[in-house]
């Protein structure tokens, strides 16, 4: 029975992935954002904002004020190093063989000489960090972003990147860790560390944006388009 349920779940997931990806039209980023779910997205965005204001932001602020910068840097390096295998896999799926070799060496050096990734020794060896995920890979394959989505707790996304999260989760050693308490502690620490990295950016958004929802949506869209093209997006097309 368990085997049949597992197979059924995998089939349903595969069908969802195919349908979701087929719904993402190949749309150039200079065209208007597709956001038919805006009313629902705004509700989720307000929920996420309350969680952030009452929980994540205070924790991140306290974390930044009380934990010395070298310790915070090591925590950030540790989680970044855990994400290197995900980047490596997507390097290969995108045909970036040279970058994949560099990221493989980076992971090896930081895991060994960097004491499990606590220290970023690879950057001093001319091996910079890259960030690749399945959403970016789908984008490189020509799959459009589809509808804009705001996910509970996770924030801005779209259909393409949301589907890519399944692959990201499968290669996330923290989320796949067996011991529940350790896994939850690591997830919580990573969330606080990530939020601490964004304290300045959130101040800019809160100060400059007349509509934080629209500001975040367009900022996310441009960020993803920029990452898909490795910082060199093609120029916009004019009629």
> Is there a single domain that holds both residue 160 and residue 50?
yes
Higher pLDDT among residues 4 and 55, named by residue: 55
Helices (H), the chain: 2-22, 38-51, 57-66, 69-82, 84-93, 97-112, 134-140, 159-170, 180-197, 199-208, 212-228
> Is there a single domain that holds both residue 125 and residue 84?
yes
Q: Determine the pLDDT at residue 209.
A: 66
Each as own residue / partner, the long-range contacts of residues 131-134 (CB below 8 Å, 24 or more positions apart, any chain) are 131/83, 131/87, 131/227, 132/86, 132/87, 132/90, 132/91, 132/94, 132/96, 133/86, 133/87, 133/90, 133/161, 133/164, 133/167, 133/168, 134/90, 134/163, 134/164, 134/165, 134/166, 134/167, 134/168
Return the structure tokens found at 177. Answer: 């860790």
- Could you list the residue range(s) of the whole structural domain that residue 156 is in? 34-66+144-169+179-230
Q: Rounded mean pLDDT of the chain?
A: 87
- Per the domain annotation, does 196 fall within a domain? yes
> Is there a single domain that holds both residue 116 and residue 193?
no
Q: Determine the pLDDT at residue 29.
A: 53
b/e sequence 138-170, b meaning 16+ C-beta within 10 Å: bbbeebbbbbbbbeeeeebbbbbbbbbbebbee
- Stretch 1-17: mean pLDDT: 45
Please report which confidence band the pLDDT of residue 34 belongs to, taking 50, 70 and 90 as the band edges. confident
> Is there a single domain that holds both residue 151 and residue 61?
yes
Q: Tell me the per-residue pLDDT of 64-100, one tens digit each, with 9 for 90 and over.
A: 999 999 999 999 999 999 999 999 999 999 999 999 9
DSSP-derived secondary structure letter, 231: T
> Is there a single domain that holds both residue 104 and residue 199?
no
Higher pLDDT among residues 6 and 187, named by residue: 187
Split into its structural domains, the chain has a count of 2
Please report which confidence band the pLDDT of residue 149 belongs to, taking 50, 70 and 90 as the band edges. very high
Higher pLDDT among residues 17 and 51, named by residue: 51
- Percent of the chain residues topping a pLDDT of 70: 85
Higher pLDDT among residues 181 and 3, named by residue: 181
Please report which confidence band the pLDDT of residue 166 belongs to, taking 50, 70 and 90 as the band edges. very high
Please report which confidence band the pLDDT of residue 205 belongs to, taking 50, 70 and 90 as the band edges. confident
> Is there a single domain that holds both residue 59 and residue 84?
no
User: Which pTM value belongs to this model?
Assistant: 0.83
């Amino acid at each position: 029975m368990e085997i049949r349920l597992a197979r059924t779940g995998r089939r349903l997931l595969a069908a969802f992935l195919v349908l979701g990806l087929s719904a993402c039209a190949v749309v150039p980023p200079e065209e208007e954002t597709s956001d038919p779910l805006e009313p629902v997205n705004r509700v989720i965005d307000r929920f996420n904002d309350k969680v952030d204001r009452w929980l994540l932001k205070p924790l991140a602020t306290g974390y930044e004020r009380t934990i010395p910068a070298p310790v915070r840097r090591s925590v950030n390096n540790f989680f970044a190093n855990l994400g290197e295998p995900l980047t490596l896999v997507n390097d290969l799926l995108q045909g970036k063989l040279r970058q994949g070799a560099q990221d493989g060496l980076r992971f090896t050096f930081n895991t060994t000489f960097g004491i499990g990734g606590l220290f970023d020794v690879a950057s001093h060896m001319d091996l910079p960090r890259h960030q690749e995920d399945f959403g970016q890979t789908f984008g490189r394959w020509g799959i459009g972003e589809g509808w804009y989505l705001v996910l509970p707790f996770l924030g801005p996304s779209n259909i393409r990147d949301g589907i890519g999260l399944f692959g990201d989760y499968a290669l996330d050693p923290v989320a796949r860790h067996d011991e529940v308490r350790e896994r939850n502690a690591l997830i919580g620490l990573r969330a606080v560390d990530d939020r601490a990295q964004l304290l300045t950016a959130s101040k800019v958004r809160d100060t400059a944006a007349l509509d934080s929802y629209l500001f975040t949506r367009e900022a996310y869209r441009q960020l993803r388009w920029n990452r898909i093209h490795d910082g060199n997006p093609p120029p916009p097309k004019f009629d």
